[in-house]
Each structure stands twice: as structure tokens, then as C-alpha cells.
């Protein structure tokens, strides 16, 4: 599959910010400022804010194609797990679930095996996974960056059948694998003073797709969107979206700022338009 056929996705991870009283207003403000053709928008507020954001977006005409996402899910469907949320609880409330975020790996010691269980729960529930992968600073300095990311993909997805009952989401290409998106997080460049470049992300996207092919994803992983997830801003997003292998961003702190999100999605729309032009030209 040519890159032009992959969707351009901007997902905002709000982390532990906002409350039910203010999340809805923020969501509608961002939705109004980011209505651009061809860009899949995903808002991921805290669990307690999901109903408020859903209800607010339903009343906003410019948010009709905004998808909601959860920031995490438990690896079991149900049980005596105080404070946890299972995939069946999210069905009908969200379309996407972030799994394997670097903060979950770091703070809660989540392993690839555990993350793989979560991926299965999300997929079997008919939801879409945003699977995060990425290497630490010491791993990069030791020359192990590509091996680490490959092993994360294999560890999280090995043995997982490619098929799913989930229907394609907004603006996704027909025939794509709609249940999976990968977010590459260069953990070594987050809060360390170091900077990842577009070329770094593009190289890792190639590694990711090669690993996806190893686990049997159709088209050798070419249909799977790969997002950049390293402290992206409206000022830096252009460098990453200029790379054909990068299909959008998982945005952290900037996703809480309407001006920043407006700039990020506007630049993503340029990439989406260019891809539509390539598709149109290929059909003439």
C-alpha cells in the first residue's frame, strides 16, 4: 500500500488533566478550531471526563467526526480489580484505546506480555488500539534502539490474528487494518533536553512496519498508521509530517492548548491533501 492510502491521525492524550466540569468546553473549543478535511482527530481525556466530552461533542456540528479514546484499559475483561476499567466498559463510549504508553511502562512496570493482553481485549471488543512503542536513552546510546522497538512490537502482537470485527473508522482507507495504529515515542527525547528529528522517526517507522510484517499484519504493515509521539508542537510537527512514513502524531501537553492543536491539525491537513492528490493522480 502506498503511503497516500494511510489515514492522517492526530490524537490528543490529555493525561491526568481536566475535570468533568471543564473538559467538555475544552473539547468543543478544540473541535471547532481543528475541523480540517482528511484528518482523523482523536481526543483522549481522563476516564471520568469521557461522558462529559462525549456529550459536549455531540452538540457541536464541527465535531461530528471526532473520535474519543481512552488512555488505558485493564488486561482482564472483568473481576476484582479495584479502580480498573475493562474493555467491555468502554464499548459504546470510545472508539480508540491507548495501550503501552511509555508512562505506563515506566510507572506501572507494564511488560510487553501484559500490553499484548490489553491489545487483545481492545481488539476483541471491536475497539481500535493506539499501541505505543519506543526506546529509552540508554538503549539508544547502546545502539539497541531498533532492536528494542522491534522486540516491543513482536512481544505485544505476536500470535495475534490480523482480523477483527471492528469497522473502519472516520476517513480510514477501505481495506486497511482499522484496529491498529502505532505511536512511536522516542523516550530518550522526552524531558531530556535531546531532540528527535524527522529522520529518526522515519527510520523507526520502517523498523515498526518490518516488525508488523513479521507478526503477519496484512500488506507487511504498510496499511498501519505510524504516529510520532515525542512532545510534538505546532512548531515541530511539520518536520515529522514531511516524512512519508509518518502519518500523524500522538500529542501530549500541546493537546490541551487550542492554538497549538489548531496549528498541528492544520499542518496535518496539508499532508492529508497531498495524499489525496496522489491517490487521485493514480486513478487517472
Cβ count within 10 A of residue 254: 20
Specify the pLDDT at position 165: 43
Residue tagged active-site, from 95, 185, 239, 245? 185
- Cα(74)–Cα(168) distance, integer angstroms: 24
User: What does the pLDDT average to over 22-49?
Assistant: 97
61-77: string of b/e by CB count within 10 Å (b at 16+)?
eebeebbbbbbbbbbee
pLDDT of 281 over the 50 cut: yes
- pLDDT by residue (tens digit) across 52-90? 999 999 999 999 999 999 999 999 999 999 999 999 999
- Cα(156)–Cα(174) distance, integer angstroms: 25
| Residue 223 in grid coordinates | 496499511
pLDDT of 174 over the 50 cut: no
139 has catalytic annotation: no
* Dihedral sign of CA atoms 68, 74, 79, 84 in order: negative
* Dihedral sign of CA atoms 229, 43, 208, 151 in order: positive
Cβ count within 10 A of residue 235: 12
Specify the pLDDT at position 1: 52
Q: Which of 240, 196, 248 is nearest to 34 (CA)?
A: 248
| Residue 219 in grid coordinates | 500488506
Specify the pLDDT at position 3: 66
What is the residue-averaged pLDDT of the chain? 92
Specify the pLDDT at position 5: 80
Phi, psi of 195 (to 5 degrees): -125, 125
- pLDDT by residue (tens digit) across 94-107? 999 999 999 999 99
Provide the percentage of residues in the chain whose pLDDT is more than 90.
82
- pLDDT by residue (tens digit) across 122-155? 999 999 999 999 999 999 999 999 999 999 999 9
| H helix runs in 22-176, sequence order | 23-33, 50-58, 87-90, 102-108, 112-124, 137-141, 145-157
Question: In 3-state terms, what secondary structure has residue 199?
Answer: helix
For cell 499484548, what's the residue? 116
pTM metric for this prediction = 0.94
Residue tagged active-site, from 101, 146, 243, 245? 101
Q: Which of 168, 171, 136 is nearest to 152 (CA)?
A: 136
Specify the pLDDT at position 284: 72
167-198: string of b/e by CB count within 10 Å (b at 16+)?
eebebbbeebbbbbbbbbbbbbbbeeeeebeb
- Cα(254)–Cα(272) distance, integer angstroms: 21
Cβ count within 10 A of residue 21: 9
Q: How confident is the model at residue 190 (pLDDT cuts 50, 70, 90)?
A: confident
CB 187 within 8 A of CB 134: yes
101 has catalytic annotation: yes
Higher pLDDT, 160 or 253: 253
For cell 492510502, what's the residue? 5
Tally DSSP H helices, then E strands, for the chain: 10, 8
* Dihedral sign of CA atoms 143, 196, 214, 279 in order: negative
CATH number of 3-36+51-282: 3.20.20.70
Extents of the domains making up the chain: 3-36+51-282
- pLDDT by residue (tens digit) across 225-245? 999 998 899 999 999 999 999
Stretch among 77-81, 108-112, 178-182, 211-215 having the lowest mean pLDDT: 178-182
Amino acid at each position: 500500500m502506498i503511503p497516500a492510502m494511510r489515514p492522517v491521525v492526530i490524537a490528543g492524550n490529555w493525561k491526568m488533566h481536566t475535570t468533568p466540569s471543564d473538559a467538555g468546553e475544552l473539547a468543543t473549543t478544540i473541535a471547532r478550531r481543528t475541523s480540517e478535511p482528511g484528518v482523523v482527530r482523536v481526543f483522549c481525556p481522563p476516564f471520568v471526563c469521557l461522558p462529559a466530552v462525549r456529550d459536549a461533542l455531540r452538540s457541536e456540528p464541527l465535531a461530528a467526526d471526532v473520535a474519543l479514546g481512552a488512555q488505558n484499559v485493564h488486561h482482564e475483561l472483568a473481576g476484582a480489580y479495584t479502580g480498573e476499567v475493562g474493555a467491555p466498559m468502554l464499548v459504546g463510549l470510545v472508539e480508540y484505546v491507548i495501550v503501552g504508553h511509555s508512562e505506563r511502562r515506566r510507572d506501572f512496570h507494564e511488560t510487553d506480555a501484559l500490553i499484548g493482553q490489553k491489545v487483545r481485549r481492545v481488539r476483541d471488543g471491536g475497539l481500535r488500539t493506539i499501541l505505543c512503542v519506543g526506546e529509552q536513552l540508554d538503549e539508544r546510546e547502546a545502539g539497541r534502539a531498533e532492536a528494542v522497538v522491534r522486540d516491543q512490537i513482536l512481544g505485544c502482537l505476536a500470535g495475534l490474528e490480523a482480523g477483527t470485527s471492528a469497522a473502519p473508522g472516520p476517513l480510514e482507507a477501505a481495506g486497511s487494518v482499522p484496529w491498529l495504529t502505532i505511536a512511536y515515542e522516542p523516550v530518550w527525547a522526552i524531558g531530556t533536553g535531546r531532540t528527535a528529528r524527522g529522520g529518526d522517526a522515519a527510520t523507526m517507522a520502517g523498523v515498526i512496519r518490518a516488525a508488523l510484517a513479521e507478526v503477519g499484519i496484512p500488506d507487511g504493515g504498510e496499511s498501519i498508521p505510524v504516529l510520532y509521539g515525542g512532545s510534538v508542537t505546532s512548531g515541530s510537527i511539520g518536520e515529522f509530517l514531511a516524512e512519508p512514513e509518518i502519518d500523524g502524531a500522538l500529542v501530549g501537553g500541546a493537546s490541551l492548548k487550542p492554538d497549538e492543536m489548531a496549528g498541528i491539525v492544520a499542518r496535518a491537513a496539508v499532508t492529508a491533501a497531498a495524499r489525496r492528490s496522489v491517490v487521485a493522480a493514480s486513478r487517472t
